[in-house]
C-alpha cells in the first residue's frame, strides 16, 4: 500500500512538471497493476479521512499534455480555448445561452480510466469543448494525474462517491463518508468538490439532507446516452441528439466497464454535430 501511494504521488508531481506523457502513464499503470494484483472494481475505501479542508493545489494550473493512443491516424492534441469569464457561475447555476450561442453540458461518469479518459480529453481538446467529469474517489486516488489533467484543460471535476454504491440505501453516516472521502481527496488535487452526481441517478431526501449539510449541489441529467450498454456509437449519438436543447445535461461514461472506445467515438461524433449547430460545450459549475 505504501508503494502504491508513493507511486501515485510521484505521478502527480511528474504531471505537474509537464513531464508525464500518455506513454509514461501507461507504463506507470502497468507497473502499478503488477505490484498490486488488484482491479479497479475492488478498490477499497480509505482508512481515514481528515476533517480539514485542503487549499487547492497549485499543480492544477500546470500545463498538461495527454496524448491519445489512437494509432497511426492520431492527431496531436490542440490546447482548448479559454473559457470566457462570463461563464463562471456559482455552484448549481447553469445557463441556456452564452453570447447568442446555445449551451450544452457534457458529463462523464465513473472515471477516471487510464484506458478511456486520455482519449476523451484529446477529443474534447480538438473540438475546443469543455465538460464535467464526475469521478469515483477510488479511481481518482489511483490515477491522480488524470484529475490534474482534467482540471488543467479547463474541465470541472465532480464527486461520484468513493465506491459507486446505491446511496439511497445507505445510512446517513455512510452517505456522508462516501461524499466526504471523495471531496477531501479531490480538494488535495485542486478541485472544489462542491457538486455531486449520485451513482445510478438514485437519490433521496436523506441524500439531499447530507448534501445540503456539506454545501454540495446535486446534478442529475436531462439526457442519458446509455453508452454503458455498448450498443453502438451511432445509437449513443442518436440518444444524445434526441435530448439536445439549450441547457441540456448529457451523460456519457469514461470509467470502469461503462466506458469504451465506442463512447470515445460517440463523443467525437456528437461534438461534430453540435459544432455545426453552433452549440458551446461548457463545464458544469462545480
Q: What does the pLDDT look like over 119-141, one tens digit per residue?
A: 999 999 999 999 999 999 999 99
Largest Cα separation within the chain, whole Å, is 53
In sequence order, the β-bridge partners of residue 280 are 103
Least confident of 20-24, 72-76, 150-154, 259-263: 72-76
Region 35-44: what's the mean pLDDT?
34
Cα–Cα distance, 238 to 24 (Å, whole number): 36
pLDDT of residue 29: 37
Compute the Cα dihedral for 152, 59, 195, 235 and give only its sign: positive
Q: SS3 of 195, please?
A: strand
Q: Which residues contact 179 (CB under 8 A, 6 or more apart)?
A: 159, 161, 196, 210, 211, 214, 216
Output the pTM of the full model: 0.71
Rounded Cα–Cα distance for residues 176 and 42 (Å): 20
| pLDDT above 50: residue 154 | yes
N- to C-terminal Cα distance for the chain?
31
Does residue 70 carry a pLDDT above 70? no
Say whether pLDDT at 275 is over 60.
Answer: yes
Judging by DSSP bridges, how do beta strands 156-159 and 97-98 pair with one another?
A: unpaired
Neighbours of 103 (CB within 10 A): 18
Catalytic, out of 109, 110, 254, 268: 109
In 3D space, the residue among 263, 10, 257 whose CA is nearest the CA of residue 123 turns out to be 263
37 in active site: no
Which one of 116, 217, 253, 268 is the catalytic residue? Answer: 253
Give 227's DSSP letter: G
Give yes or no: 109 in active site.
Answer: yes
Question: What is the phi-psi region of residue 99: left when phi exceeds 0, alpha when psi lies from -120 to 50, beta otherwise?
Answer: left
pLDDT band at 155 (very low <50, low <70, confident <90, very high): very high
Residue 212 is placed in which grid cell?
A: 445540503
219: helix, strand or coil = coil
Higher-confidence residue: 118 or 257?
118
Question: pLDDT, tens digit, for every residue of 49-66?
Answer: 333 333 333 223 222 233
Which pLDDT band, with edges at 50, 70 and 90, does 261 fall under?
confident
Tens-place pLDDT, residues 167-205: 999 999 999 999 999 999 999 999 998 999 999 999 999
Pairing type for strands 132-135 and 156-159 reads parallel
Measure Cα distances from 27 to 68, 101, 115, 208 in Å: 14, 42, 12, 41
pLDDT of 143 > 50? The answer is: yes
pLDDT at 255: 84
CA 141 vs. chain centroid, Å, equals 13
C-alpha cell at 199: 451513482
The residue that leads in pLDDT, 12 or 210, is: 210
Residue in the block written with cell 479542508: 53
Q: In degrees rounded to 5, what are phi and psi of residue 250?
A: -115, 135
Amino acid at each position: 500500500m505504501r508503494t502504491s501511494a508513493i507511486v501515485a504521488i510521484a505521478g502527480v508531481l511528474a504531471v505537474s512538471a509537464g513531464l508525464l506523457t500518455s506513454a509514461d502513464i501507461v507504463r506507470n499503470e502497468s507497473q502499478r497493476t503488477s505490484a498490486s494484483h488488484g482491479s479497479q472494481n475492488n478498490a477499497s475505501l480509505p482508512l481515514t479521512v481528515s476533517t480539514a479542508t485542503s487549499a487547492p493545489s497549485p499543480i492544477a494550473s500546470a500545463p498538461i499534455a495527454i496524448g491519445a493512443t489512437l494509432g497511426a491516424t492520431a492527431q496531436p492534441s490542440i490546447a482548448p480555448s479559454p473559457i470566457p469569464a462570463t461563464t463562471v457561475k456559482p455552484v448549481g447555476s447553469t445557463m441556456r445561452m452564452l453570447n447568442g450561442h446555445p449551451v450544452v453540458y457534457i458529463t462523464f461518469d465513473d472515471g477516471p480510466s487510464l484506458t478511456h479518459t486520455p482519449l476523451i480529453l484529446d477529443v474534447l481538446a480538438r473540438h475546443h469543448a469543455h465538460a464535467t467529469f464526475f469521478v469515483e474517489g477510488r479511481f481518482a486516488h489511483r490515477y491522480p494525474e488524470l484529475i490534474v489533467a482534467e482540471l488543467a484543460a479547463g474541465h470541472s471535476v465532480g464527486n461520484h462517491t468513493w465506491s459507486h454504491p446505491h446511496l439511497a440505501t445507505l445510512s446517513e453516516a455512510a452517505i456522508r463518508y462516501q461524499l466526504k472521502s471523495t471531496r477531501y481527496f479531490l480538494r488535495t488535487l485542486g478541485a472544489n468538490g462542491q457538486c455531486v452526481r449520485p451513482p445510478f441517478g438514485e437519490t433521496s431526501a436523506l441524500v439531499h439532507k447530507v448534501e445540503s449539510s456539506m454545501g454540495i449541489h446535486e446534478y442529475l441529467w436531462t439526457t442519458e446516452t446509455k453508452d454503458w450498454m455498448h450498443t453502438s456509437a451511432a445509437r449513443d449519438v442518436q440518444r444524445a441528439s434526441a435530448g439536445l436543447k439549450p441547457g441540456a445535461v448529457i451523460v456519457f461514461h469514461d470509467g470502469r466497464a461503462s466506458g469504451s472506445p465506442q463512447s470515445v467515438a460517440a463523443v467525437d461524433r456528437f461534438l461534430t454535430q453540435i459544432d455545426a449547430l453552433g452549440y458551446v460545450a461548457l463545464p458544469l459549475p462545480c
